[in-house]
Amino acid sequence: GIQVEQSPPDLILQEGANSTLRCNFSDSVNNLQWFHQNPWGQLINLFYIPSGTKQNGRLSATTVATERYSLLYISSSQTTDSGVYFCAVKEYGNKLVFGAGTILRVKS
Contacts of 5 (CB under 8 A, 6+ apart): 23, 24, 25, 99, 100
Q: Does 41 bind another protein (CB under 8 A)?
A: yes
29: helix, strand or coil:
coil
Cα separation, 55 vs 28, whole angstroms:
23
- Count helices and strands (H / E) in the chain: 0, 11
Position 103 contacts another protein (CB under 8 A): no
Q: Specify the residue, 17 or 65, whose C-beta has the smaller distance to another protein.
A: 65
Least distance in angstroms from the C-beta of 74 to another protein: 20
Amino acid (1-letter code) at residue 35: F
For the bound state, the minimum distance from the C-beta of residue 52 to another protein, rounded and expressed in Å, comes to 13
Q: For residue 43, state whether it binds another protein (rule: CB under 8 A).
A: yes
CA dist 84 → 7, 25, 39, 60 (Å): 12, 18, 8, 16
Nearer to another protein, 5 or 17 (CB): 5
Query: Min. distance of Cβ 38 from another protein in angstroms?
Result: 10
Q: Within 10-39, which residues bind another protein (CB under 8 A)?
A: 30-31, 33, 35
Binding site for another protein (CB under 8 A): 30-31, 33, 35, 41-45, 48, 50, 86, 88, 90, 93-98, 100-101
